[in-house]
Structure formats: C-alpha cells, structure tokens
Amino acid sequence: MKGLIFMPQPQLRIPATYIRGGTSKGVFFRLQDLPQSCQVPGRARDRLFQRVIGSPDPYSAHIDGMGGATSSTSKCVILSKSTRPDHDVDYLYGQVSINTDFVDWSGNCGNLSTAAGAFAIHAGLVDASRIPGNGTGSGTCVVRIWQANIGKTIIAHVPITNGQVQETGDFELDGVTFPAAEIVLEFMDPSDDGDDGGAMFPTGNLVDTLNVPGVGSFPATMISAGIPTVFVNAADIGYQGTELREDINNDPAQLERFEKIRVAGALRMGLIKTPEEALKRQHTPKIAFVSPPKSYTASSGKAIEAGDVDLLVRALSMGKLHHAMMGTCAVAIGTAAAVPGTLVNLAAGGGEREAVRFGHPSGTLRVGAEAKQVNGQWQVTKAVMSRSARILMEGWVRVPAETLE
C-alpha cells in the first residue's frame, strides 16, 4: 500500500546449548526459555526448530542454520523438570527434516539421550540432592529421564566432578573424533507397549516374508524396541554388510529402493495405513541390514576384523545410510540379538545372548539387552550401552521474529 514503510523486526534471542551426544549433535532448550507459543506442540514450535536448524533447505546444506545437513545433526531437544513421579526430567526430541517442511516427533534419539542427562544437570533441572555432595561433590549422578516422544524411561549415569558434569575423559566411541567421559545409558522396558500391551514384534512373528513392490520378497524381522526397525539380511538385497556411506548415499536408485523396503515394513508393522503417510514419518521405522562377521575397513581407516564382532549392521536414517549407528537402533539390535531366531540373532550365530558387539560403518559398538518370554510373548526389561556427551557451545540462538507469526 502506498505510503507504508516496511520496518524489519529484530531477531528473537533464545537461550540454547549446542551439544554432542553419542554420534549425534543438536540444539537443546529448556522449556521455560522458549517463547510462550513454542512451549506447546504446534506449528509455532515446528517453525522455530526449522529456522534454528536452517530447514527446509532446497540446497540440503543448512548454511543458514545450526544444522549439519545430515540426520545426525538436524535435531532439537526440549527438557523440563519432570511432571512424572520418580523422574527428574522430561525429554522431548524433534527430528527436523533437511529439505522438506516438517518436524518428525514420532521417535526418540538414543544418541542425544546421553546429552539429555548431562544437559539436565548443567541446566539446573536436577535437584541438588540427587547430585553427589548435594551438588558440590564427585561421583556419578543417576538422572531419571522420561522420554516423552515414546513414553519410556531412560536412566543416564553421568560422571560428576566437583558438582559439575565431567565431560572430558578417555572413553573412545567409534564415529566420534575425540575421547570424552563415559556415560552409561539404560533404556528401561524399551519395547513398544502397543495397543494390546506388548507388541515388541508387531506382526507376532520373529521373522516374516516382506513383499516389497518393485523390489521383491525376502525375510525380515520387524521389531519395536528402542525405535521401530525393519531388519533384513544384507545378502538377500544384494549387499555384503561391509558398505560405507558413500557406497549407498551417492546412488539415488539405491536410496529409493531402501525407502520402498521401509514403507513396506511400516505398513506391515501398522505404523502407517497408506504409503503416502511415510512421507510425514521419515524418522520411523528405521531400515537396517545385517550380515555375519566379515573383515572390513571402517570409514576412519581403522581395520575391523571378523573376529572383533558378532555381526555387521548398517542402518539408514532419514533416507541416508548413517555414518555410525543410531542409539535407538542399537537398542533394537541388542534386543533382537537377545531373542533366538530373529535375523539379527541368526547373523550373530544364534542362541541365547545378553550382549553383542556389532560392526558399523565407523567401527564397532557393544550393546546389551535382557530379554525373556512371558506367557509366550517376548519382553525386554532393559538395554544398556555406553556413550559420551560434550557441550560444544552455549548462549543464545537467534531467529527472525516473523518465524513465529
């Protein structure tokens, strides 16, 4: 309109902390620090997270945001004091799509669960009485986390020195450049409760024949533990199980094929009703392929010998082969390995197992799980693994004010 002058608004300034957790990193917020409209689910919160990360980005580069243009780095987290009994904090996770307009809230990030415990202490969300020396001593702080996306409990054993989270140490995690302090995570009762109270295997079978239009038919283990995951044998889909990221991620035809398998699995697991729904549910389920042990060279150049591992696993996240392994998928691997007869268990040699060490593109990872049969149904009481976390930067993120309009 003639005579009107556009007056740009200043950017919003929101307290935030940038943290690496496991082989992922993301932007962490305290719920109380978010703008009022973003303290509840909805479009305003989604738009905020997208703008912070730099999505949707048609260049898939995240130049104008904090994201790193991979599924491992396109993440935001909200923590608050827990409203649930016997828990310290509530942890909500958003997986921000890189080049499309949505935020996926359907699952957890196991890697950032490590950082959730550390950040909870750092941000003053854990009562001093639960920290060694009433907030001034050294030892281990047991942080009880309620994972709000999936309604599960995670226990983080966070090292403390003089009342502060100890971040440096000599624990090495394949897929992470530098050593840090070890944080042990326990994923309690990680299997999906389902509508009927215990659908760890949604189809009722340890192995099904999965029919994938345009691809073929082959055995699959579909499990909801940690995160819904479709496991197939590497050999059945033409792979060795030793593949690295560049072997798959640079070929759109291969990625499209994996997406067809993922969609077929999602339909079979009852996670979606039509193939089109998968477009808005890219975070779950995961698709992974397994193989018996083989020697290979990891992406870092490290030699992984067949005798070093029980099996090999490669997994895709948000449409790309993960550079290491998602924490939640590691829970699914450990759980499936503990159940005799699954494809994961068979790839590891079969029989009863309480832990496996598997090879992934960046190296190896050990994960343990306690599984048992109750009234003919398999249940897992917990899965355990070690990760690390480190604050990379803290202060404020800035987003244009019109983001929330």
Active-site residue identified among 38, 66, 76, 109: 109
| Exposed/middle/buried for residue 61 (C-beta within 10 Å: 0-12, 13-18, 19+) | middle
Nearest C-alpha neighbor of 312 from the set 359, 250, 351: 359
∠ CA 370-376-380, nearest 5°, is 20
76 is catalytic: no
Terminal-to-terminal C-alpha distance of the chain: 20
Ordered DSSP codes for 323-347: SS--HHHHHHHHHHHTSTTSHHHHH
Question: Which residue do the tokens 């003053």 mark?
Answer: 124
∠ CA 365-309-354, nearest 5°, is 70
CA 337 to chain centre: 19
* One-letter amino acid of 32: Q
> 3-class DSSP state for residue 353?
coil
CA–CA separation, 191 and 396 (whole Å): 36
Active-site residue identified among 200, 269, 326, 329: 326
Nearest C-alpha neighbor of 140 from the set 114, 166, 113, 169: 166
329 is catalytic: no
Active centre residues (catalytic): 109, 326
